Amino acid sequence: MSTSRNYQTQGVILKQNKLGEFDKIVTFYTPEFGKLRAVAKGACRPKSKLGGNVEPLTHSLMLLAKGRNLDIVTQSQTINGFLALKSDLWRMACGLYILELIDSFTVEGGDNRPLFDLLIDILNQLSEPDSNETVLRYFELNLLNHLGYRPQLRRCVSCDSPLKPVVNFFSPSKGGLLCPNCNSEENCNYEQIEATSIKSAFPISVRALKVLRLWQSCDYSTAKRVRINPELSLELERVLHEYIRYILQRELKSLAWLQELKREIAVI
Ligand SMILES: [Zn+2]
């Protein structure tokens, strides 16, 4: 980080918390410094020039001054307010889920330019009228790749043999797939130690595995061309959510809202 008292950075606002009557603590994700927190003074005042630029789901350019504890946002300008996301409830819920994922998986100060680029790309893709849940699955899988949790989808994580095109088993605790042989051995071990808290692996279809392998290695414009029926979509969602839940050891708040919204849309 620059040694001068002031520095400039762009960032995507992840969340904000009120600080006292008029100020906010803003958490944002930047290309150079990773996740940062800073104080936006007076951002809660009705005529604040900072206000809208430090709202979640906004890509802003900010000028910051070094503070004793937290730095201070002195000026800001919106680069992209993602208005198409904010004007549609489902897309906004998806956007907030993406932000919560970034916030949950990152610590302050760990820079990760590819993750920042992925975040911007995905928020832009989500703004497109034809976007669907593929955006979320592609983001989840590639977020895991960029943060060192890339699931092993080509070889068995136990015996290292190449996986055959049959039903294999996804093990969240082992970070990848088990072949049918190793999965039955694992199940025997679990029974012996009566470990009720250990989550065993669950089956994954050949189609789901093919899609995940492709999405691990292609860009989004290729990923979105894959046809996904509702059954496959549910399976892909389960695989990624079980794995993410295992890593974070908790549920994300925005995910519960997103799933509730999905059920309501399905009823309509
Ligand atoms: Zn094996």
CA of 129 to the centre of ligand 1 (A): 43
Q: How many A from CA of 226 to the centre of ligand 1?
A: 29
Mark out the alpha helices in the chain (DSSP H runs): 83-86, 89-105, 113-126, 134-146, 180-193, 206-217, 220-223, 230-248, 253-267
What is the distance in A from the centroid of ligand 1 to the CA of 163?
8
- Which letter does DSSP use for residue 89 in this model? H
CA of 236 to the centre of ligand 1 (A): 22
> In angstroms, rounded to a whole number, what is the distance separating the alpha carbons of residues 114 and 91?
23
pLDDT at 266: 76
pTM greater than 0.75 (yes/no)? yes
Distance 227 CA to ligand 1 centre (A): 30
> How do the pLDDT tens digits run along the chain, 268 residues long?
545 689 999 999 999 999 988 899 999 999 999 999 999 988 888 888 887 788 999 999 999 999 989 999 999 999 999 999 999 999 999 999 999 999 999 999 888 999 999 999 999 999 998 888 999 999 999 999 999 999 999 999 999 999 999 999 999 999 999 999 999 888 776 665 555 445 589 999 999 999 999 999 999 999 999 999 999 999 999 999 999 999 999 999 999 999 899 888 876 6
Sign of CA dihedral 164, 169, 174, 179: negative
CA 235 – ligand 1 centroid, Å: 22
CA of 182 to the centre of ligand 1 (A): 4
Spatial strand order in the sheet of 168-171: 176-178, 168-171, 202-204
Q: Is 230 left (phi over 0), alpha (psi -120 to 50) or beta?
A: alpha
pLDDT of residue 197: 44
CA of 166 from ligand 1 middle (Å) equals: 13
Tokens at 29, concatenated: 């994700």
**CA–centroid distance, residue 157 to ligand 1 (Å):** 7
DSSP-derived letter for residue 161 is P
Specify whether the CB–CB gap between 181 and 161 falls below 8 A: no
**CB 126 within 8 Å of CB 98:** yes
